[in-house]
A and B are shown apart, each in its own frame.
Chain A
Amino acid sequence: MTAYKILVCDDEPHILHVVSAKLRNNGFDVLTAADGAEGYELARAEQPHLVFTDYQMPLLSGLELCAKLRGDARTAHIPAVMLTARGFSLSEADLSHTNIRKVLVKPFSPREVLATARQILDVSDAPTLIAATDIGN
């Protein structure tokens, strides 16, 4: 399996830890950041294949981070997945300025995280593209 590089941003150490562990255990290369600003710098420097980010984070929120990634030529192509306890407050308009492919609402399961990563990066036998209707689920 190709070692896909995934960036995980969350200010909750336990969540950061468990998501990283699940992805690492299943063959992904994992980078971690504790806030949005650090996540942005890491994404620019490391060019990950996928970003998992929390919504509520200090310095730069998950939504701001994703909008910045989309606006930056170096990171504009990177797909993102939002992990949030407040999925309801994200509007289509908010999402349209980002590369967010899917929103996982807390409490989510690590299995769900893994399945989403595999689906987006097309590393399983499962179908490839994520339909637009997945957004906001």
Chain B
Amino acid sequence: MNQSQIQLKPWSQTEDDAAETFASAEPALSAPTSVMPAPVGKTVRTFSGTSWPGLDRIRSIHALVPTAAALVWVVGAAVLPTNQPGLPPIQALGVACLLACAAAIVVTAWRTRRRAMAALELSIASTSRRAAGKWGAAALGAEIQPLWEAVERQTAEVTRQIEQLLEERKELGLELSLIAVQKRQAEAIIRSMSDPVLVTDSYDQLVLANPAAEELFGFKCPDALRQPLTVLVADEKLVALIRQAREADTRVARRRTEHEIGEQVFALTMSPVASGQSEDEVGVEHHGVVVLLRDITKERKAARLKSEFVAQVAHELRTPLSSIRAYVEMLVDGEAADEKTRSEYFEIIQTSADGLGRLIDNMLNISRIEAGTVRINKEPIAVSMVAKEAADMMRPAAEQKGISLSEELTPVMYRVLADRDLLYQAVLNLLSNAVKYTPEGGRIHLRVIPQEESKTIRVEVSDSGVGIPKEDLPRMFQKFFRVEKNKEMAKGTGLGLNLVKQIVETVHGGELTLSSEVGKGSTFGMILPLTQ
């Protein structure tokens, strides 16, 4: 059952009630009309003011008018869309009719009462005269009694009807304002949505759009309403999709698809909805479409970056694996003729296997830090102590290349709240890079510099190495990035500096600095907050 039928029901009841009321009042009608005498000029106040004899004559006509008015009003409430503020026109007309009829009843009743009063007065006067002369006072009351009772009943009935209609009007008014509030709430919810929403009718005209949709398509709402979508939306493909969704036979089914608008990718959800006018004269169901557009540009980009990353990882893993497989096969095939070549091949296999292991370790560390699953055990750590341990660890490798590794540590034990192992790993990675990319006979300088003003401490690794081209500086901490020209200097996974970045920035809330000059060397710095 649709909305209009539901709302009509209270009216039908009211109509029945009214009919019953008139039917029950019917037997009383004949008596007063038959005895109604002609009016006479003089008025005597014998009866109470509420008794209106003679009203029954015109009652049936007057009773129909408010009934018709109420019908117009209630139908108006049911049929009209309830979104206009205040009373809708048809309903206002109904109320006006009702009030006019009520006024007409009052005026007519008043005039009738005057005539009835005059008639009664005449009747009483003549009866009194006759009674005085012939029958006596008792005969007077018996003659008037039925008329009096009928008038009383009718008056009460009309009053009751008026009160009932006024009550119903009040209730409908309340219902209307409640519906208006609910509608405003629903609209506020739709407007507050960050995803664009469009609602179209059965003619592909705009019925509703939220600010996100207005911004996306560049129209403004009060003006755009009831405009054809083809005018509002420049995107022909989208308009066609919405039309197809509306024309689709399956009314319940939602359509989901992806659609690109400019640089953005949207997930479209189009749900056909009944537009209110249930069926037209040939029985065709009309419905519009609610279109929800969800911006999935970021998700798409993330998915693309992820697959690129996987491809990159696969490449990085395959390269050492290729070497291992190739050299093992060479040894198996006896391609290494002498002992020197054989041991050279074994060494390459070992180096490649080590590199593969390091790559996997670094990748796991980075992904654990990124996912927040790494176990971090923060405690106050003396930065100089950790820096010295890392320097001692790297010293043999530096000495092997004839590189001098000097330290400039703070005598005071400045402490940071840090994970000892991760901090050690970060300093070690910076020192290891310095050793890798500094030619033989170079210098590496490790400094720990407290910065009292900013309550931070700076760990700095400077080298006299090959340096980094200016254009590569912003990419140095990216995963798998390696300076092309420097690749041949050392083996690397392209993950070491990214791990430093994760440890310093993500785990410890610190900051990284980098300055470099090609041919002169580089300085990497990490700034960590001191414990209070």
Contact = CB atoms under 8 A, between A and B. Distances in A.
Interface in A1-56: 11-15, 17-19, 21-22, 25, 34, 56
Q: Would you call the interface of chain B mostly helix, strand, loop, or mixed?
A: helix
Given A58-B484, A86-B311, A18 B321 contact: no
B520 interface: no
Contact of B322 (A13, A15, A111): A15
B330 A21 contact: yes
Given A58-B484, A86-B311, A14 B348 contact: yes
A84 to B, nearest CB: 9
Nearest to B349: A14
B380 to A, nearest CB: 45
Contacts of B333: 110-111
A28 to B, nearest CB: 13
B296 to A, nearest CB: 25
A85 interface: yes
Contact of A110 (B314, B318, B326, B352): B326
Nearest to B316: A85
Contact of A107 (B311, B321, B484): B321
Contacts of A19: 326
Contacts of A108: 322, 326
A18 B352 CA distance: 13
A106 B322 contact: yes
Nearest to B322: A107
A109 B335 contact: no
A13 B315 CA distance: 16
Interface string A100-137: 00000011111100000000000000000000000000
Contacts of A25: 335, 337
Interface in B457-513: 484, 487-488
B352 A14 contact: yes
B319 interface: yes
Nearest to B314: A85
A21 B319 CA distance: 18
Contacts of B348: 14, 17
Nearest to B324: A107
A15 B323 contact: yes
A64 to B, nearest CB: 15
Nearest to A14: B323
Contact of B323 (A18, A22, A86): A18
Contacts of B326: 14-15, 18-19, 107-110
A21 B327 CA distance: 10
Interface residues of A, number: 22
A13 B488 contact: yes
Nearest to B333: A111
Interface string B333-344: 101010000000
Contacts of B319: 12, 15, 85, 106
Nearest to A109: B329
Interface in A45-76: 56, 58
A108 B324 CA distance: 11
A58 B325 CA distance: 24
Given A18-B323, A18-B327, A107 B318 contact: yes
A111 B487 contact: no
B488 A34 contact: yes
A108 B327 CA distance: 11
A85 B329 contact: no
A11 to B, nearest CB: 7
Interface of B: 311, 314-315, 318-319, 321-323, 325-327, 329-330, 333, 335, 337, 348, 352, 484, 487-488
Interface of A: 11-15, 17-19, 21-22, 25, 34, 56, 58, 85-86, 106-111
Given A12-B322, A22-B330, 19 more contacts: A12-B323, A14-B326, A14-B327, A14-B348, A15-B322, A18-B326, A22-B335, A58-B487, A85-B314, A85-B315, A85-B319, A85-B322, A86-B311, A107-B325, A107-B326, A109-B325, A109-B326, A110-B330, A111-B329
Ranked nearest first, the 7 interchain pairs of A and B with the lowest CB-CB distance are A107-B322, A14-B323, A18-B326, A106-B322, A107-B325, A58-B484, A85-B318
